[in-house]
A = this chain, B = another copy of it.
Amino acid sequence: MSFIKDMRKYLQLFNEYLASVPLAEQEPKNLYEPVSYVLSFGGKRIRPVLAMIACEMFGGKAEDVLPQATGIEIFHNFTLLHDDVMDNADMRRGNDTVHKKWNTNTAILSGDAMLILAYRYIAVGQKEKLPALLESFNRTALGVCEGQQYDMDFEKQQTVTLREYLEMIRLKTAVLIAGALDIGAIMGGASPEAREHLQEYGTNIGLAFQLQDDLLDLYGDEKTFGKKIGSDIIEKKKTFLWIKAQELLTPEGRISLRNAIDTADIAGVRKVYDSINIKEHCQEEIQKYYEKSLSTLKQLPNSTALENFSKELTLRIA
């Protein structure tokens, strides 16, 4: 992802700050070691980078928002940690998950500690901006939990409408992208109007990001994507691809799809999806949110970095 190249300055700044956070040495070891372990997985650090970009857009320095960016990244990793427990997932970014390496109780409790640590970093050094930061972060964090609950609810539902699905991924994924930008905007001194525009941008690009993820799950390259191709199919997730297929397939096609999913026949699923051009439908939807995101940027100052971010995101293969 060439985004990473452009954003190297932010990424380096952030990773240096994160490395200075004294977690691994704290007692009790069984509480803090998993926290430090999870944070060491790396990842694209998209959310902290967005917080730094947003802060600079309104005249702040990227450095100003480092503790808050850390809070957001800790929160993001907390959600992955607890999600992995709930999904009973063994691997995360090529590493054993915490509940696999330690145990479920450790994963629950270390996750709880991460959520508290996230709040601690959001608050570092803040007075006047603290009410706005907390209001924004609370809303974001609760939204993500709501999204995760809808995601779990959907697993038990026979069917899910596209509208319901988009609302779920808005909460589960886009809200945190928007929240990271909002935290950066607050630290940079943005007006309430600018914050609203920026969150609209974040919501749209967050939706595009998640739809791209749905697409890459089946049409990506395992090596660059970093996850097993077809995991959504194996987990029987009702993603955009599946929901759109329900709409477009004939009754016979739906039966073929169900059989392919039930036998975890990934090539079979792809064949059904290809017959109704699901890939193109998904790309169209991504394009829609991508363009929405760009049009919102017109109302914001110094938006080149985010424009590039939008572009890179829709081209991403990882």
The yes or no answer to A72 lying at the interface (CB within 8 A) is: no
Query: Binary interface profile of A, 251-285, with partner B (CB < 8 Å = 1, else 0)?
Result: 00000000000000000000000000000000000
B135 and A116 form a contact (CB under 8 A): no
Residues in B whose Cβ lies below 8 Å from that of A153: 28, 30
With beta carbons under 8 angstroms apart, the residue of B31, B123, B142, B152 that contacts A134 is B123
Closest to A125 in B: B131
Partner of A119, one of B82, B85, B138: B138
Whether A134 contacts B105 by the Cβ 8 Å rule is: no
Q: Is A112 on the interface with B (CB-CB < 8 A)? A: yes
- Count identical subunits in the complex: 2
Residues of B within 8 A of A163 (CB): none
Interface string of A98-128 (1 = CB under 8 A from B): 0000000110110111011101100100110
**Does A141 interact with chain B (Cβ within 8 Å)?**
yes
Residues of chain A from 1 to 53 with CB closer than 8 A to chain B in the complex: 27-28, 30-31
Residues of B within 8 A of A82 (CB): 108-109, 112
**A148 within 8 A of partner (CB):** yes
Interface size for A (C-beta < 8 A) is 36
Contacts of A120 in B (CB 8 A): 138, 142
Is A150 at the interface (CB under 8 A from chain B)?
yes
Q: Is the CB of B109 within 8 A of A149?
A: yes
Is the C-beta of A146 less than 8 angstroms from some C-beta in chain B?
yes
The verdict on A149 contacting B86 (CB below 8 Å), with A112-B115, A130-B131 known, is no
A-B contact pairs, 28 of them (CB 8 A): A28-B149, A28-B150, A31-B145, A82-B109, A85-B108, A86-B108, A106-B152, A108-B108, A109-B145, A109-B148, A109-B149, A109-B152, A111-B112, A112-B112, A112-B145, A113-B142, A115-B115, A116-B141, A116-B142, A117-B142, A119-B138, A123-B131, A123-B138, A126-B131, A127-B130, A130-B130, A130-B131, A130-B134
Residues on A close to B: CB < 8 A? 27-28, 30-31, 82, 85-86, 105-106, 108-109, 111-113, 115-117, 119-120, 123, 126-127, 130-131, 134-135, 138, 141-142, 145-146, 148-150, 152-153
